């Protein structure tokens, strides 16, 4: 930074016709304008991590962080709204996830595949998998609810790991291999969901009252109690999958919403990009991806 400042000052003092191109002096939101933006950052364990761009200019003074036009003149930076085109600068450098993210991805993938394999190979006469043999079990609805809760937890973990990688693949130059890993994790979680609903079909719906049950019942109150007791697992399954859907949509919105619902002329930008980038470095402490995965 000192070298760049001295070089730029020396060129201006010496009356050289062209000022040097300062690396990192342009905003990712406006590559055509050579002025530094105002960043909000957080300190991680291994460096600084971005939170968002707060303003299109870091200073409106002509003496501090001014705007360079055609490498010939300097004036006060313009803090008004600028035309945003983030695709060009965000595609210059390839973004790679950390090793810890890859470990979390491998763990989620193995858990999803293991969960699917156990459900498909569950046998009632096996001491290890008899509880997952839904059709042969004496409490199929209760076991189905347990399986649905476990599958929803695995799917939420897969979304937490893969959504940042998939979002960065669309808005930046992300590692193609890492983006494919995120798709694989999400696909394995979807496979677990499909197998779960296929194995528990017939035990997650509403149980109606039959004519024989009505005749055998001692009264309508007892019959209503029996029906409510038999269908207690249906609301539990609905709550689980509703919560999973809302949490998945919220996490995806955090990854792709670059303006944080502020007006486009407010100057705020790259919020979702910064969130996804921090999620790819879970060991830095700047984004709590590990608790999000294991608390699901």
Residue written as token pair 């940042």: 164
Domain boundary among 55, 90, 125: 90
In 3-state terms, what secondary structure has residue 132? helix
Whether 18 and 147 share a structural domain? no
- How far apart are alpha carbons 52 and 39 in whole angstroms? 6
Whether 236 and 107 share a structural domain? yes
- How far apart are alpha carbons 249 and 256 in whole angstroms? 11
Whether 133 and 235 share a structural domain? yes
User: Considering the domain boundaries, does residue 13 fall inside one?
Assistant: yes
Whether 107 and 243 share a structural domain? yes
pLDDT averaged per 10 residues, the chain (length 296): 51 50 62 73 79 74 65 60 52 81 93 94 84 83 90 94 90 87 94 93 72 51 68 86 92 81 63 86 68 53
Q: Tell me how far apart the 2 most distant CA atoms of the chain are, in Å.
A: 104
pLDDT value at position 218?
Answer: 52
Q: Which of 170, 187, 185 is nearest to 255 (CA)?
A: 170
Whether 14 and 79 share a structural domain? yes
The answer to whether 39 and 50 have CB atoms below 8 angstroms apart is yes
Q: Which of 12, 30, 23 is nearest to 79 (CA)?
A: 30
User: Considering the domain boundaries, does residue 266 fall inside one?
Assistant: no
- How far apart are alpha carbons 280 and 285 in whole angstroms? 11
- How far apart are alpha carbons 256 and 164 in whole angstroms? 8
- How far apart are alpha carbons 251 and 177 in whole angstroms? 22
The whole domain housing 73 covers 2-90
Whether 40 and 169 share a structural domain? no
Whether 114 and 251 share a structural domain? yes
**Count of CB atoms within 10 A of residue 67's CB?**
18
pLDDT value at position 211?
Answer: 42
Domain boundary among 64, 90, 116: 90
Whether 40 and 162 share a structural domain? no
pLDDT value at position 212?
Answer: 43
Whether 119 and 228 share a structural domain? yes
User: Considering the domain boundaries, does residue 179 fall inside one?
Assistant: yes
pLDDT value at position 105?
Answer: 92
User: Considering the domain boundaries, does residue 268 fall inside one?
Assistant: no
Domains of the chain: total:
2
Domain boundary among 29, 61, 90: 90
Residue written as token pair 């002329």: 265
pLDDT value at position 170?
Answer: 83
The answer to whether 234 and 204 have CB atoms below 8 angstroms apart is yes
């Amino acid at each position: 930074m000192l070298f760049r400042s001295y070089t730029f000052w020396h060129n201006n003092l010496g009356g050289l016709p062209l000022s040097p191109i300062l690396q990192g002096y342009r905003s990712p939101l406006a590559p055509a304008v050579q002025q530094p933006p105002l960043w909000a950052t957080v300190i991680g364990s291994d460096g600084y991590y971005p939170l968002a761009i707060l303003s299109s200019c870091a200073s409106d003074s002509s003496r501090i962080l001014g705007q360079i036009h055609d490498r010939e003149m300097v004036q006060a930076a313009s803090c008004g709204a600028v035309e945003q085109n983030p695709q060009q600068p965000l595609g210059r450098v390839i973004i790679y996830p950390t090793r810890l993210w890859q470990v979390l991805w491998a763990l989620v993938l193995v858990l999803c595949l293991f969960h699917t394999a156990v459900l498909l190979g569950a046998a009632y006469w096996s001491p290890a998998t008899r509880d997952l043999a839904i059709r042969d079990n004496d409490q199929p609805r209760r076991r189905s609810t347990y399986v649905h809760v476990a599958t929803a937890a695995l799917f939420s973990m897969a979304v937490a790991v893969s959504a940042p990688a998939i979002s960065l693949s669309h808005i930046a130059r992300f590692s193609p291999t890492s983006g494919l890993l995120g798709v694989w994790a999400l696909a394995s979680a979807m496979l677990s969901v499909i197998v779960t609903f296929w194995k528990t079909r017939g035990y997650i719906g509403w149980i109606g009252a039959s004519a024989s049950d009505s005749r055998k019942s001692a009264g309508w109150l007892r019959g209503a109690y029996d029906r409510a007791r038999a269908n207690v697992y249906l609301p539990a399954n609905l709550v689980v999958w509703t919560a999973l859907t809302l949490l998945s949509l919220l996490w995806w919105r955090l990854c792709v919403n670059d303006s944080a619902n502020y007006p486009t002329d407010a100057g705020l930008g790259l919020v979702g990009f910064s969130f996804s980038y921090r999620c790819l470095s879970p060991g830095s402490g700047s984004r709590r991806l590990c608790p999000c995965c294991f608390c699901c």
